[in-house]
Structure 1
Amino acid sequence: MPSNDSLVGSSSRTFWFRDAIVYQIWPASFRDSNDDGMGDIQGIIQSLDYIKSLGVNTIWLSPMYDSPQIDMGYDISDYESVYPPYGTVADMDELIKQCHSRGIKLILDLVVNHTSDQHAWFKDSRSAKDSSKRDWYIWRPAKYDADGTRRPPNNWRSNFNQPAWTWDETTQEYYLHLFCPEQPDLNWTNDDCRNAIYKSAMEFWLKKGVNGFRVDTVNMYSKPMDFPDAPIVDEGAETQPAGMLYCNGPMMHTYLKEMGAILERYDAMTVGELPNTPKTADVVRYVSAAENELSEVFQFDLVDLGRDPVDLLKLVKFGLPDMKRIVNKWQRFTEGNDAWTTVFIENHDQSRSISRFASDKPEHITDSGKLLALMNMALTGTVYVYQGEEIGMTNVPSTWGAEEYLDVNSINYFAAVKKRTNGDKAALEQAVQNVNKTGRDNARTPVQWSSAPNGGFSKTPTTKPWMRTNDNYTTINVAAQQDDPESVLNFYRKAIGVRKQRNSLLGRGEFRLVEEEDEKMFKFIKIAEGGEKAFVVLNFTAEEQTYEVPEEVGNVEAVLDTRADGKKGTLKPYEGRLYVSVQ
C-alpha cells in the first residue's frame, strides 16, 4: 500500500481518512436527552466521552436535516436546517465543536440524488411547466397504450418496490423517483441545480467545520436521459429492477470531480454508497487518489451475500467460502494502485451481523460479536462500526409481527407480497420471516444503554421510544458490559487499540487468504510493507476446531484472542485469534 506522503494530489490533501476508525450514529435511535422518545443531537453530545472511549476517531452522523421523515430523513426538505425533534443548527455547531475538542472528526450524510417533495425547489418545480426550476427535477410526458391507457415513461422499479415514476395531476407529467414518490430525483444535467446542491448541501456544512460526507447513492446522479426500459427479469410484474441502467451513468465522473474540487479545499473525505458496480476496475476509477473524486466507497457484496437477486429481502443459502471470496476481492482490489477500501459489516440499511453471519443463540452472542470485531479490525481499509455493534446487538426476535416494522421498505414489501399473492396467508408469513432476517429495522431499534425499561434509551422509564426496543436489552446493554473485561464492548476497545498500535500491518497491510474452501474457519495472513506478518484464524462454527499456523508466517505470538481461555492450535465455538510474527 502506498504511504500517505506518496499519494498523488495537492499538498492540501492529507488522506487522514485512511487511518480513520468511524462510528456511525443513527440519530433517531441513539440517545434521547429530552424524554420525547426520539434520539437527538444533545443525546449524542452527552455520549461523546463514551464514543471516544471506544478508540474511534471519526463519527458519521446519518441524516439529521429537516425532513418529513417518509424515509427516516433521506427525504430532505431543507439542507440548511435540522429536523426539530433532533435539535437545531446551534446544536449541530456545538456537536462539531465538542467532537473536535476530543480529537474526533465528524462527517455527515450527503443526500443529493433526490430531495423531499416538500423541498422548496421541488414545490417550485411542480408548480408549472414554465417554472424556473422545472428542469431541476426529471419530468417526462406519459406514454399511452393503443387503448388510450396512460403509462409511465418506462418500466423502472424504484428501490422501494414501487414504480419509479409518479403522475403529477397539476402539470400532467410524470416525475422520476428512484426511491419513494416523496423523494423526487434531482436533474444533475442542469448546471444551476448542481451549483445550488454544492452550495446548500455541501459548503454550508463544510464552512461550519464538518470533515466530510458519507455520500448516499453516489453513482445514481447521471441517468441515461433517453430512459430505456429495463430487461424483464421479474416475469409478470409491471415494473423491473433497473439498477444496472441508472447507476454509473455517462457524466458521473465529471460531477464527482466538481465535488472533489470543493472537498479538497477543506481536506474533507467522502465515502460513497456504490451499488451495482461489480467490476473492480470501475470502482478503482471512483476512488483513485489521482482522480480526486471519492475518498473511498462502500461495496455491498458482503452484506448482500445470500440475498435473492429479485426478492432482495429473501435469503438463499450461502457458505463461508462465499464470504471469504468477497472479502478477498475487496481487500485486494487496491493492490498496485492508489485506491482505498472500506471495512464494514453493519449499517442502518442492514440487519445485525451476529444474526446474519455468526450465531445469535444466547450462548453464542458474545463470542460471535467478538469474532466479527476481530475479523474487521484485522482487515485493511477504513473501518466502520455501527452503533450497538460494539455491544453485540442482534436482530429483533422472530416473534415480532408485521406491525412492529416501521421501515418504509418493509411496509412496501408487505404490501407488494399481499397484492401479488392476493393476500395468501403463507406468503405473508414468509414475508414477515424475510423481513425479520434482512429488514432494515433490525439495525434501527434504540441503542441498549442499560437494563432499565426500554434499554435506558430515554431518561424516564415510562417514555415510550419511537420504535420498540429489542427484547434482549436486559442482558445486552452498555452498563452490563462497561466493567466486564470479557464483554463485547471491552473487546472492541482492546481490538481497536491493537489495530491502532499495529496500523501498518492491520490497517494497511496486504491481505492473503488461506484455505479458501474451508467451510468452518476463515484464515488470512496480513503482510506489512516492512515485512511484518500477522495470521488471523476465525472459527465460524458452533464446534471446536483445530488449526496450524502457516510456516510462512514464522515465529508468532498471540496478541489478541476473543476468549480468555484460548489455547494455541484450538478454537472454541465462534472463537478467533490474531498472531503477529516475532522477529
Structure 2
Amino acid sequence: MRLAAALLSLVLAAPLSAQSSMTIPPIDNTWWKHAVIYEIYPRSFQDSNGDGIGDLVGITRRLDYLEALGVDAIWISPMYPSPQVDFGYDISDYENVDPQYGTLADFDRLVAEANKHHIRVILDWVVNHTSDRHKWFLESSSSKSNPKRDWYVWNPGKKVDGKTVPPNNWESVFGGSAWEMSPKTKEFYYHDFYKQQPDLNWRNPAVERAMFEGMQFWMDRGVAGYRLDAVPTLFEDTQLRDEPVKPGVNKQGDVNLDDVYTNNLPEVHDVMRRMRAMVAKYPGDRVLIGETYLPNIAEVDKWYGGEKKDELQLPMDTIIGFSSSTLDAARFRKQLTDVETGVHGSQPLLVFDNHDNERSTDRYTVGIQDPVAKDHIAKLLATMLLTARDTALMYYGEELGMTTATPTRKEDVKDPIGITGWPAEKGRDGERTPMQWDSSPQAGFSTTAKTWLPVAPNYTTLNVQAELADPNSLLNWHKKLIKMRRTRDSVRDGGMMMLDESNQSVLSYVRYLPGHHAIVISLNMTDKPQTISLDLAAAKIPPTGPEGYVLRTLQATDTELNAVTTAHFTLPPYATWIGEVQVPK
C-alpha cells in the first residue's frame, strides 16, 4: 500500500475533527488517574532487623529507590496482626501492626517519609473474612447466644444417614468443604478460603459498621486508599443452594463447581456504594481498588457503578493480564478496546503481576529459551501496561524481570494452597521470593543466612544494582516509560486509538492530545520479523499541510528501529517501538 503524505499527515496543535473516532477524555488531575501503583509484599521487600522477614522500616529505607523508579503509590499487602496461616490475609486485629513488621509508630513514619518522596500509601483491606483468632470470631464461636454470633455465617448442617454434614456442596478455595464444624457449638461456619479464615456476615449491618470504622482508623493516619481483597465474595446465597457441578476436578482434587451462589452476588454493589460514600468524606481523593477477577467488561463496569460511577474508582481489569498467557495481538487489541469503550469513560486499571500468580516473565515466555526474546517480551508487556490509557499496577520486582522460583519439594512449601494441593498445585511461594537488590548474600534483602523464603537463584545477575548500571536493562526500560507517562501529555492525558486493526501479529495504537505530539506504539507479538504500514490518518488527526509528517523514535528494543522516520517499517521479533509524530522542519 502506498503511503501518500496527504493520507498520513498528522497535526500537533489543532482540535480533532468532528468525525474522529478517538475520544479525548477531559483532563483530570486526580492523582490516581495517572498513577503507577506498586504492590509490596511486606515479608519479601526489605528486612531491616535481620530476622529474615521484610518489615515497615525496610520499606521506608527503600523509598529513594521507589521515587527514582517513578512510583506514585505503594500498596502494602496485609501487615496487620495475624497468625500468618495465610501470611497476613487472616487478620486478628484490623487496627494495629503485626510485631514482625514493626509498630504503629513505624507505620506513621513510613507514611510521613513516603509523603516526602511524593509517594502515597495504600493498604490491603481484607473484607471477606477474618482470622479465627480475631476477637469477633472468638466471641461468635463461644456460644449460639453470643451477641456476635451472626457476625459470621453459621449453619447447623443437615442429617445424612444419621450424621451431621455440611448444609451444601460449597468448596473452599484451599480445598475441601467450605464448612467447618465448631467444637463448642456443634455448628458449621462458612469459610471460602482456609478454615482459619471464617467469612464475615455482611448481611449484618454491625459488620459493615465495624469494617468501615477500621478503614477510618487508617485513613485518619494518612492512608490514601485501599485495595479490597476478594471483594466479590462478600455475600452468599441465603437459600444455601448447591452450586452447579462442572466437568472435571481442580488442583485440590475437588469437583469443579460454578460459584454462582458464593461469588459476585448483586448485594455487594450496595456495600460498595456505601463504602465509596464513606471514603469520599475524606479529603485528598482517597481511592478504592478492587481485587475483581471478572469474566467480561460488562461485569467490570458494574464495579465502577456503571454510568453513575459511584462504586470503586479502580476495579482491576484482570482480563487483559491474566485471562491468557499467550502473546496475541488480536486478543490484546480487543480487550484494550473493550475497557476503553465499555466502562462509561471510567479509568482502566491494568495489571500483569501480583502475589497470587506466576510472574508474567514466566507466564508469557513458556517454551522460550532465548534470553533476548524473554527480555523483549518483558519490555513489550511493560510498554502495554505503561503506555495504554490506564492506571498502572505493578508488583515488586516486576521492573527487574524477577522470575517465579517455585519450590521443588512439598516440605519446602509455605503457602497453604500449595500444601493442600501438592503436587498439582504447588502454591504461590514462587512469586513471593525476596526482592533482589544486589549480588551480595541474600540479594541485599536480609543479613541473615535463612530468609522466610529462599532468594531466587538468579539474584547474582538479576538485581537492582546490576540493572541500574545497564542502560538496556528492563529496570531502565521501566524508568523511561514511567517518565514518559509523566512528561508526555499525550500519554498522560490523551485519547487512545488502535491502528492497523486487521494485523494479527502486531499491536499498534496511538495516544494523542490536541496541541501535543502524537505518540505511536507498535508491539510485535511474534517470533518473526513483521513489516507494518500504519494508517495514521485513521486517528482522524487533521493534516499538517503539504510537507506531511515525520516520525521520530523515542524508545525501542532494537537499535535498527532508531532510524524509523515513516509509518512503514519492519519490527524484529518481539520488538517494541515507540515514536512521536513531529512537525516537519
Provide TM-score, normalisation by structure 1.
0.86
- Structure 1 distance, partners of 2:52, 2:421, is 27
- Structure 2 distance, partners of 1:287, 1:556, is 40
**From 201, 209, 231, the counterpart of 2:244:** 231
Q: Kindly tell me: are residues 37 and 141 of structure 1, through their superposed partners in 2, closer, same or farther at Cα, counting changes over 3 Å?
A: same
Give matches, 1:526-541, under 5 Å.
Answer: 526-528=511-513, 533-541=518-526
User: Is 1:405 the counterpart of 2:400 in the alignment?
Assistant: no
User: Is 1:582 the counterpart of 2:582 in the alignment?
Assistant: yes
Q: Which residue of 2 aligns with 1:137?
A: 152
Q: Kindly tell me: are residues 385 and 52 of structure 1, through their superposed partners in 2, closer, same or farther at Cα, counting changes over 3 Å?
A: same
User: Is 1:173 the counterpart of 2:182 in the alignment?
Assistant: no
AA matched with 1:465: T
**From 19, 28, 48, the counterpart of 1:33:** 48
- Structure 1 distance, partners of 2:300, 2:361, is 31
**From 460, 469, 474, the counterpart of 1:488:** 474
- 1:64 partner SS: coil
Could you tell me how far 1:277 is from its partner in structure 2? 4.8
AA matched with 1:515: E
What do residues 299-352 of structure 1 show as CA deviations (whole Å, max 9, x unaligned)? 222343348xxxxxxxxx785533443333223323xx2422112111111111
User: Does the CA contact (< 8 Å) of 1:287 and 1:297 recur in 2?
Assistant: no
Could you tell me how far 1:506 is from its partner in structure 2? 5.2
**Total equivalences in the alignment:** 538
Q: Which residue of 1 aligns with 2:83?
A: 68
AA matched with 1:286: Y
**From 422, 430, 438, the counterpart of 1:450:** 438
AA matched with 1:364: A
Q: Which runs of 5+ in 1 are unaligned?
A: 6-13, 308-316, 415-427
Greater relative contact order (Cα < 8 A, sep 6+): 2
- Structure 1 distance, partners of 2:158, 2:186, is 12
User: Is 1:305 the counterpart of 2:323 in the alignment?
Assistant: yes
- Structure 2 distance, partners of 1:440, 1:277, is 22
Q: Kindly tell me: are residues 338 and 369 of structure 1, through their superposed partners in 2, closer, same or farther at Cα, counting changes over 3 Å?
A: closer
Q: Which residue of 2 aligns with 1:3?
A: 26
- Structure 1 distance, partners of 2:449, 2:307, is 48
AA matched with 2:192: L
Could you tell me how far 1:84 is from its partner in structure 2? 1.2
Provide TM-score, normalisation by structure 2.
0.86
**From 156, 159, 171, the counterpart of 2:170:** 156
What do residues 101-156 of structure 1 show as CA deviations (whole Å, max 9, x unaligned)? 121111100111100001000000000000010000000111122x2233211111
Could you tell me how far 1:507 is from its partner in structure 2? 5.5
**From 249, 273, 279, the counterpart of 1:257:** 273
- Structure 1 distance, partners of 2:416, 2:40, is 20
User: Is 1:498 the counterpart of 2:484 in the alignment?
Assistant: yes
Moved over 4 A (4+): 235-240, 317-320, 529-532
What do residues 394-432 of structure 1 show as CA deviations (whole Å, max 9, x unaligned)? 2227x8344443222222221xxxxxxxxxxxxx4xx26
Q: Which residue of 2 aligns with 1:268?
A: 286
- 1:123 partner SS: helix
**From 342, 361, 365, the counterpart of 1:354:** 361
Could you tell me how far 1:490 is from its partner in structure 2? 1.0
What do residues 64-109 of structure 1 show as CA deviations (whole Å, max 9, x unaligned)? 1111111111110001111111111111000010011121111100
Give matches, 1:89-100, under 5 Å.
Answer: 89-100=104-115
User: Does the CA contact (< 8 Å) of 1:505 and 1:532 recur in 2?
Assistant: no
- 2:181 partner SS: strand
- Structure 1 distance, partners of 2:470, 2:445, is 21
Give matches, 1:109-148, under 5 Å.
Answer: 109-145=124-160, 147-148=161-162
Q: Which residue of 2 aligns with 1:417?
A: none
User: Does the CA contact (< 8 Å) of 2:443 and 2:455 recur in 1?
Assistant: yes
AA matched with 2:110: L
What do residues 373-403 of structure 1 show as CA deviations (whole Å, max 9, x unaligned)? 1121111111111110111112227x83444
- 1:215 partner SS: strand
- 1:65 partner SS: coil
Deviates more, 1:267-276 or 1:508-517: 508-517
Could you tell me how far 1:53 is from its partner in structure 2? 0.1
User: Does the CA contact (< 8 Å) of 2:276 and 2:311 recur in 1?
Assistant: yes
**From 90, 102, 118, the counterpart of 1:103:** 118
